[in-house]
Amino acid sequence: MIARLPLVRAIVAALLAVALAWLVGGQMLLGRIDPALVLPLLPVPVFLLAWLSRRDPVPLRLRAGALALLLLLIVQAGLAYGLAGMLPWRQLALVALAGAMLALLVEAIGRWRAGRAVQLALALLLVAGWFAGAHALLASLYRPPVATAAPATILTGLPLRWSGGTDIAAMIAEGTQDDPALARLEAAGPVRLVDSLIDQPPLPGGALLLAHPRALAPRELVAIDAFVRRGGRAVILADALSGWPTRHPLGDPRNPPVTSLLTPLLDHWGVVLGAAESRPAAVVADGGRLHLFSAGRFDRLPPACRSFAGGQIAFCRIGEGTVWLVGDADLLFAPLWQPDPAWAAHLRKADTMEWLSARLWPDAPAAFLRSVWIDPRAR
């Protein structure tokens, strides 16, 4: 029985780490099974194991720590494969490296010849510092590097800039008050927010983001078509029924359009956007998890298109260029994707901004770590 105690302790510590990652680390709340989300909470099971093994010889303590870490990796790998259909090797390697480092630090504190008060103070300092440092590290590893490609041109009817005030005086007093979606895109790469594609056409090599724009003149629609057919890249958010919050009375032209006004352009490409489904939905498109709200389906697509998410998202080749079509502009609405707190990229609710950035700047390097989303069919 005595020989089996290290194994029992290791199992307890590993299961505690798994439970903390699921209940407190964000896995259950966010619908993700990323093993790396256990990192900020790892000191709790490690200190518990050290306390339970405090009377054991050093080799036995180290063996129990290594066994607990191995069990944690096996369980997390099994959960990721079973719930997400993948093995996130980078997250697992990060947990292994960090866990070994933390175990050695805890062992050093326990062996240091100092009073209990000093050891307790060091332990609390390590827990607090590890928690903050792990969150900062994960935020940087889950955030893609800033793109250095040609600026992406954005034309939109959504209040992405000057979004804070209700009148001119208030907007001047409060400043630009950029919407979080625009701020996040500007942090990901160079962007140009324009009012007209005739006066400010997309730059050579740059992409175009049409985010639920107001009614465009025929010349602008022709310019968009020509830009794409000559080899341009575009992302078009055409919402059949926008749920974007309005700050002005009903019918005020300053509000975003209620429905898409891009029908002439879509018709020209052989695309038909159907009625919206008035319900939120989490969908997967080309490896990214997006949260849609009252999204429309593309009822008709030309042969050169490939559909995703049951027809709510499509990828089309138009001439020499490419277009991503999304039947929802509300996916830009911050509460549907923004992590809490906003700086914590590793706690994001969806891959929306990362997915958009990858299409606006496809040659930009990807983040070191990617979110591991639970497949709804596995629940």
pTM of the model: 0.86
Q: How far apart are CA 338 and CA 144, in angstroms?
A: 15
pLDDT in tens, 66-80: 999 999 999 999 999
Quote the radius of gyration of the chain (alpha carbons, Å). Answer: 25
Instruction: Identify whether 231 is part of a domain.
Output: yes
pLDDT of residue 168: 47
The pLDDT of residue 195 is above 60: yes
Please give the angle made by the CA atoms of 183, 292 and 178, to the nearest 5 degrees.
15
Asked if 170 and 281 sit in the same domain, the reply is: yes
Asked if 117 and 184 sit in the same domain, the reply is: no
Domain boundary among 117, 141, 165: 141
> What's 225's domain CATH number?
3.40.50
Asked if 349 contacts 145 with a C-beta cutoff of 8 angstroms, the reply is no
Asked if 70 and 187 sit in the same domain, the reply is: no
pLDDT of residue 260: 86
pLDDT of residue 224: 96
Instruction: Identify whether 222 is part of a domain.
Output: yes
The pLDDT of residue 251 is above 90: no
The pLDDT of residue 163 is above 80: no
Asked if 66 and 184 sit in the same domain, the reply is: no
Average pLDDT for residues 97-117, to the nearest whole number?
85
Tallying the residues shown for the chain, one arrives at 379
Instruction: Identify whether 369 is part of a domain.
Output: no
Which two tokens mark 81? 């494969």
Q: What is the domain extent for residue 20?
A: 5-141
Average pLDDT for residues 275-287, to the nearest whole number?
82
pLDDT in tens, 340-349: 888 888 999 9
